Chain A
Amino acid sequence: MNKILSLLLAAALSTSAFADDDKYEMKHHYGGQMKHADMNHDHGAEHDHGANHEHGSRDHGAMAMNAATITHTDEISAALANGGAPVVVDVLGVVCDFCATAMNKIFSKRDEVAAIYVDLDKKTLSLVITDGSDLSDKQIEKLAKQAGYRIAAIRRDSEAMGG
């Protein structure tokens, strides 16, 4: 009986500890493109990119803004130069390289995706959509779910570029 009570107590504590998550999950009812104003987080407060710095060959760009912009890798820059459309997705729960591998595998299978990069520092998925094709927010959300993750916001075009 004591063990059962312990289990119930542990379950109750874990539910309580993660209560904020359920609130977070409620924020994903967007129809079309989600604007940054719809997001309820402060990127800058958690990860200060105000100072200029680089992670390898990647340039985090205009990080003075709260919303993270696209991460520039060689592949992404080349895809943008070819007329691709930038998309930045804020992803929840991205804490390790297995997360990045999962999203790389799932999104790379899509013909619409010309380039992809999962940025653990920014907790974002940067995509470049092939010129002339489209990947809707719903599709992105579905693909993220297949990878085992959940998205918080999607920014496209100038918002994704920080301009």
Chain B
Amino acid sequence: MRRAILRIAIASLAMLTCSLVQARPVSYTGGWTLIEVANRASTAGLVHYSPTHNFSVGLRHEWQREDDVKLTAIQPTLLVKRWFGREYQGNFYLTGGLGTATDESPNNLGSDTGTFVGVMADWETRTLFVSYEARFLEQGTLGNHSMHAARFGWAPYAGDTGELHTWLMLEIDRRGHFDDKTSVTPLLRFFKGPALLELGYNLTDPSPLVNFAYRF
């Protein structure tokens, strides 16, 4: 346990030496959210519950496909600050995770403690969106990874309540442990009611991006 706490502290310190971030990982008070993320690096699912409007805790399961490592972790997220305006909203989040990583590859390196910390920040109007996120993952013998991603989005029209909202987005990510360290992914975001779907394709490291979120 002391080792895990130490890892989180070290990772947090490392995080503070990096830049800022994105997303909507905290819901309304009493709300549940189901999130699926699939990109060039991993496929992940997260279910989280928000006991308050500025905090959520969830269970994350992540398959890091390149290393064939699976991570299952408890993930708390804190909405540190939300900026409100008549035409915009900005958010700054801190997140982290503690769980177990298991090597599923033929190497069979066994299991180790997996910890991660991350920061996310976003700013959006009804037709403009910009975000940044970073995550630092430690898995002992199973590898340590860092990731940064920035997004820029534009909506060709401002959808009203309940209508289909469509966004054109561009994501640029950097993953130090990949051959193509920096990659670019154009994507479409569709938003309707409590559901969000993102479909894209990584042009640098050819692979699909499929993200889904549902709030209930």
Contacts and interface: CB of A to CB of B under 8 A. Distances in A.
Contact of B90 (A18, A101, A120, A146): A18
Contact of B124 (A3, A95, A102, A147): A95
B158 interface: yes
A7 interface: yes
Contact of B194 (A3, A97, A152): A97
Interface stretch (A20-28, A80-88, A154-162): A20-28
A4 B17 contact: yes
Given A10-B20, A96-B126, A97-B194, A121 B160 contact: yes
A152 B86 contact: yes
Interface residues of B, number: 42
A106 B52 CA distance: 12
Chain A interface bracket (under 10, 10 to 19, 20 to 34, 35 or more)? 35 or more
Nearest to A122: B160
B179 interface: no
A115 interface: no
B194 A119 contact: no
B176 interface: no
A24 B20 contact: no
A34 interface: no
Interface stretch (B23-31, B97-105, B137-145): B23-31
A147 B18 contact: no
A97 B126 contact: no
A105 B31 contact: yes
A9 to B, nearest CB: 10
B124 A96 contact: yes
Contact of B29 (A18, A25, A106, A121): A106
Interface of B: 16-20, 24, 26-31, 52-54, 79, 82-90, 92, 121, 124-126, 158-162, 165, 191-194, 196, 215
The 10 tightest CB contacts between A and B, nearest first, are A102-B28, A92-B84, A93-B84, A93-B89, A146-B29, A148-B53, A3-B17, A18-B83, A147-B28, A21-B83
9 contacts: A92-B84, A94-B89, A97-B161, A97-B194, A119-B160, A120-B126, A123-B86, A148-B82, A150-B84
